[in-house]
């Protein structure tokens, strides 16, 4: 029996037999608020002025029958659960009704306990659907492009492109340095699209060895290789009717690039060890921090794949090119991180803000976010001052001209200046390549062995992976 303080669920009974309506009203009165009507037309009128949690709907009625009313309710996008009331001779029709969206059916004369059980399950199912819809709405709001911090002209252009392309199924290539927020833009595109109710599957191509990447993308059949003990669905199948975000696609090897190109061209692929093509409907969003034009010249990236991916290009500017956004980002991360950690907000002194504005931010927005979190944790007091900032951020000689002037004016030795300049260049190369020393060495035009020697000499320590 429902608790006296609990708001009762509302059940709409639609049946042309008065005896059935009254019987259901008496049966359910302790647990549910019941509205009973004798026709489909009365039910439609009732639903224009009252909300209900579940409908008990008779199939055989004069005029518009239960099946027609079910179709009409679904056409009007009224998604409350509907339980069909049916005589044994219309049982087949009741099963057809379930194919049209009915939750379940109950045969007359109905068993009271069975009816109550189905009502409970129907309302619980509706609650779960409502909660899921609420969560989806919150996710869409969180990743809406309007919630991304950016007021500079370059970011406004990015937002304009995202809002235009999100509604389409067009393939998008997002470019930009490491830490500029490429995944955030990918989420804004997906959750701003008609596919938002379907999965957004993310795969970092640089994090998976090339030998395993094909299986990760396309799945494999049981026994296709030594460790394939069972069939595995790949990321493409998991993203069916949704979006697949391929991060760091510039790291994908040539063989996998060819297979990806086939999916983009034909919408189908073979699992590893498979013989039957698998068809999928997936929107591809790709991202890279590499210069794919250079990669194509070096035959490291397929030209035909590039043009398939680069239907619409979104380039995210580095943080040093969007200084107008710095104060907004500082304020946003300070408030957000303090809220996450359950601590009081802190403010930055004017001198500290000036230093943050001068710093070139080789790690971009991600570096700024991490630094602010660190400062909130380690700084005593309510104000973060210049002295609280790391030494590399406090320095005033980030511009090459300032280093030259410091040496020529005798304020700094040539050796110190060279070391500082080299340290800054190496650090930026490591940040751009996500601390992959082999790629950083290629970027700097040297070998990994020489790069490692210079890092040890200058005291540059790569973070643990």
Do 156 and 293 have their domain in common? yes
Asked if residue 143 is part of any domain, the answer here is no
Buried b (16+ CB within 10 A) or exposed e, 59-87: bbbeeebbbebbeebeeeeeebbbbbbbe
What CATH number has the domain bearing residue 131?
3.40.50.2300
Per the structure, how many domains does the chain have?
Answer: 4
The residue among 289, 317, 345 that closes a domain is 317
Asked if residue 365 is part of any domain, the answer here is yes
The residue among 396, 416, 431 that closes a domain is 396
What CATH number has the domain bearing residue 333?
1.10.8.60
DSSP string spanning 333-386? HHHHHHHHHT----EE-HHHHHHHHHS--TTHHHHHHHHHHHHHHH--SSEE-G
Do 91 and 165 have their domain in common? no
Asked if residue 1 is part of any domain, the answer here is no
pLDDT reported for residue 69: 93
Do 172 and 274 have their domain in common? yes
CA-nearest of 445, 402, 446, 436 to 421 is: 402
Asked if residue 4 is part of any domain, the answer here is no
86 and 107 in contact (C-beta within 8 Å)? yes
What CATH number has the domain bearing residue 414?
1.10.10.60
The residue among 288, 317, 346 that closes a domain is 317
d(CA 358, CA 405): 17
The stretches in the chain having pLDDT less than 50 are 1-2, 4, 400
CA-nearest of 205, 289, 187 to 243 is: 187
Range of the domain at 294: 148-317
Do 240 and 308 have their domain in common? yes
Helices (H) and strands (E) in the chain, counts: 20, 16
User: Rounded to the nearest 10 degrees, how much is the dihedral formed by the CA atoms of 17, 23, 24, 30?
Assistant: 160
pLDDT tens, position by position, 240-289: 999 999 999 999 999 999 999 999 988 888 888 777 888 889 999 999 99
Rounded to 10°, the helix 210-218/254-266 angle is 20
Do 313 and 323 have their domain in common? no
Do 313 and 404 have their domain in common? no
pLDDT tens, position by position, 290-348: 889 989 999 999 999 999 999 999 999 999 888 888 888 999 999 999 999 999 889 99
Do 198 and 288 have their domain in common? yes
Do 360 and 382 have their domain in common? yes
């Amino acid at each position: 029996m429902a608790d006296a303080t609990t708001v009762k669920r509302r059940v709409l009974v639609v049946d042309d037999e008065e005896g059935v309506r009254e019987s259901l009203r008496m049966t359910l009165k302790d647990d549910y608020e019941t509205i009973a009507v004798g026709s489909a037309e009365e039910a439609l009128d009732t639903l224009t002025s009252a909300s209900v949690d579940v409908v008990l709907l008779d199939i055989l009625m004069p005029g518009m029958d239960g099946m027609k009313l079910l179709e009409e309710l679904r056409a009007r996008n009224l998604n409350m659960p509907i339980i069909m009331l049916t005589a044994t001779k219309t049982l087949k029709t009741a099963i057809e009704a379930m194919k049209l969206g009915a939750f379940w059916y109950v045969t007359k004369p109905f068993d009271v306990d069975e009816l109550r059980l189905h009502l409970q399950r129907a309302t619980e199912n509706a609650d779960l659907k409502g909660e899921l819809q609420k969560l989806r709405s919150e996710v869409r709001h969180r990743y809406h492009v309007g919630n991304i911090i950016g007021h500079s002209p370059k970011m406004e252009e990015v937002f304009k492109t995202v809002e235009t392309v999100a509604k389409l199924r067009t393939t998008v290539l997002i470019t930009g340095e490491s830490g500029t927020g490429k995944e955030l833009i990918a989420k804004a595109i997906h959750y701003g699209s008609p596919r938002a109710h379907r999965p957004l599957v993310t795969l970092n191509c640089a994090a998976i060895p090339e030998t395993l990447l094909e299986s990760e993308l396309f799945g494999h059949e049981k026994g296709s290789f030594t460790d394939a003990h069972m069939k595995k669905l790949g990321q493409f199948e998991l993203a069916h009717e949704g979006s697949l975000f391929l991060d760091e696609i510039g790291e994908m090897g040539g063989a996998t690039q060819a297979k990806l190109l086939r999916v983009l061209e034909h919408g189908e692929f073979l699992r590893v060890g498979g013989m039957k093509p698998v068809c999928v409907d997936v929107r591809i969003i790709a991202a890279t921090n590499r210069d794919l034009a250079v990669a194509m010249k070096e035959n490291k990236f397929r030209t035909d794949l590039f043009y398939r991916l680069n239907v619409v290009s979104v380039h995210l500017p580095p943080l040093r090119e969007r200084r107008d956004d710095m104060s907004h980002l500082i304020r946003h991360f300070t408030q957000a991180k303090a809220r996450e950690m359950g601590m009081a907000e802190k403010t930055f002194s004017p001198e500290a803000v000036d230093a943050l504005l001068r710093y070139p931010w080789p790690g971009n927005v991600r570096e700024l976010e991490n630094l602010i979190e660190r400062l909130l944790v380690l700084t005593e007091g309510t104000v973060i001052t210049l002295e609280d900032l790391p030494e590399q951020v406090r320095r005033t000689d980030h511009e090459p001209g300032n280093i030259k002037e410091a040496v020529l004016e005798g304020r700094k030795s040539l050796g110190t200046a060279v070391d500082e300049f080299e340290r800054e260049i190496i650090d930026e190369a490591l940040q751009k390549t996500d601390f992959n020393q082999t790629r950083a060495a290629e970027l700097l035009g040297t070998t990994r062995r020489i790069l490692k020697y210079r890092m040890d000499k200058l005291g540059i320590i790569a973070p643990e992976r």
